[in-house]
Amino acid sequence: MQDPLMIGGVTLTSRLFIGTGKYSRNTLIPEVIARSGSQVITVALRRVDPQSKENIVSHIPSHMTLLPNTSGARTAEEAVRIARLARSAGLGNWVKIEVINDQKYLLPDNIETIRATEILAAEGFVVLPYMSPDLSAALRLKAAGAAAVMPLGAPIGSNRGLQTKELIRILISETDLPVIVDAGIGRPSEAAEAMEMGAAGVLLNTAIATAKDPLLMAEAFCEAVSAGRKAYLAGLGPVEETAAASSPLTGFLA
């Protein structure tokens, strides 16, 4: 078993977090969960309708850790209200804070996100905030009680990959919170790269849900995240400016 990730008292053997949106049919969700090996799944509270037969949560096996998200919130107060509703609806005490005021790029509002984190962490929630990768904000989120930080790789749903790579690298080196790269990852190789850099995990939705074959893609991401983590643990070899012969010539007669 690879090294587990501990968050909010839960031991996770998979470092791939997935979402529930954009699937052609909800019945794909349990199959995607199985093929991805994921143990954490995020769901927008506004998509949870306990009265409906199509309630999204009914497609999620009970062994999964639910990560309700506050999508739709524009202020800390709205995010807090959504999180409390999720907990009172029986969805557990994990919450992914999403506070967004920018409808074009769906970039998170770090200031409102920090305010919501302070309130919810004090109420006993396991808070995973979606954030723009800024070191000061990450340190404030830690001080506010976040269990991890979730910087975006690229705008949600864009499949544009690790556009913020260098900023994420700083968060990984300067914070001692788990850094889970969330949003924009479009290819398994990008998930592997995030893990090779030392990310604690990745959260993605669109890349799997919009693939021609979501189940095969779920498997590909499972393998990529695992391979990237192994490479990180193994320690990547040094990058050199010039060539260094693979078979050294020492020992040959002059």
Question: Is 21 near ligand DXP (CB under 6 A)?
Answer: yes
Question: Out of 22, 96, 142, 230, which one is annotated catalytic?
Answer: 96
Q: Confirm whether residue 206 is marked as ligand binding.
A: yes
Kindly write out the interface string for residues 135-164 of this chain, putting x where it contacts ligand DXP by CB under 6 A and - elsewhere: ---------------------xx-------
142 is catalytic: no
Q: Confirm whether residue 184 is marked as ligand binding.
A: yes
Query: What are the angstrom distances between the C-alpha of 43 and each of 67, 130, 207, 239, 244?
Result: 6, 14, 16, 40, 49
Q: Considering only the stretches 5-13, 113-121, 161-169, 202-210, report the one whose residues sit in contact with ligand DXP under the rule CB under 6 A.
A: 202-210
Q: Which amino acid is at 140?
A: R
Nearer to ligand DXP, 206 or 244 (CB): 206
Question: Is 42 near ligand DXP (CB under 6 A)?
Answer: yes
DSSP 74: -
Least separation in angstroms between residue 67's CB and ligand DXP is 8
Question: Is 204 near ligand DXP (CB under 6 A)?
Answer: yes
Q: How far apart are the C-alpha atoms of 102 and 51, rounded to whole Å?
A: 32
Q: How far apart are the C-alpha atoms of 129 and 114, rounded to whole Å?
A: 8
Burial of 139 (0-12, 13-18, 19+ CB in 10 A): middle
Terminal alpha carbon distance of the chain? 50
Question: Is 72 near ligand DXP (CB under 6 A)?
Answer: no
Give the residue, chosen from 69, 70, 110, 226, that forms a contact with ligand DXP under the rule CB under 6 A. 69
CA angle 228, 230, 235 (to 5 degrees): 95
| Residues marked as catalytic | 96
Contact residues for ligand DXP (CB under 6 A)? Answer: 19, 21, 42, 69, 156-157, 182-185, 203-207
